[in-house]
Amino acid sequence: MNKDKFFAQEMKSIKSFEFNHDVAEVFDDMVSRSVPFYDEIHRIILDLVDRNYNGGVIYDLGCSTGTTISILDKHFKKRNLKTPDYIGIDDSGPMLEKFNQKIKKGKIQTAQALCQDINDVKFRKSGMVIMNYTLQFIKPNKRLDLLKKVYKSLDKGGMFILSEKIKCSGHTVNDLLIELYYDFKRRNGYSELEISQKREALENVLIPITPEKQIALLKEAGFKKVEMIFRWYNFACYLGVK
The string of pLDDT tens digits covering residues 36-69 is 999 999 999 999 999 999 999 999 999 999 999 9
End-to-end CA distance of the chain: 38
Contact criterion met (CB below 8 Å) for 145 and 135: no
CATH of the domain at 195: 3.40.50.150
Residue 2, domain member (yes or no): no
Residue 15, domain member (yes or no): no
Question: Do the annotations mark residue 69 as ligand-binding?
Answer: no
Question: Do the annotations mark residue 39 as ligand-binding?
Answer: no
Residue 200, domain member (yes or no): yes
pLDDT tens, residue by residue, 179-221: 999 999 999 999 999 999 999 999 999 999 999 999 999 999 9
Question: Do the annotations mark residue 106 as ligand-binding?
Answer: no
Average pLDDT of the residues of the chain: 97
Residue 34, domain member (yes or no): yes
pLDDT tens, residue by residue, 223-234: 999 999 999 999
Residue 97, domain member (yes or no): yes
Question: Do the annotations mark residue 63 as ligand-binding?
Answer: yes
pLDDT tens, residue by residue, 94-144: 999 999 999 999 999 999 999 999 999 999 999 999 999 999 999 999 999
In this predicted structure, what is the pLDDT of residue 121? 95
Question: Do the annotations mark residue 151 as ligand-binding?
Answer: no
Contact criterion met (CB below 8 Å) for 77 and 83: yes
Residue 45, domain member (yes or no): yes
Residue-range definition of the domain harbouring residue 185: 21-241
> Structurally, how many domains does the chain consist of?
1
Residue 205, domain member (yes or no): yes
Question: Do the annotations mark residue 4 as ligand-binding?
Answer: no
Question: Do the annotations mark residue 38 as ligand-binding?
Answer: yes
Question: Do the annotations mark residue 168 as ligand-binding?
Answer: no
Residue 218, domain member (yes or no): yes
Residue 1 has pLDDT above 90, yes or no: no
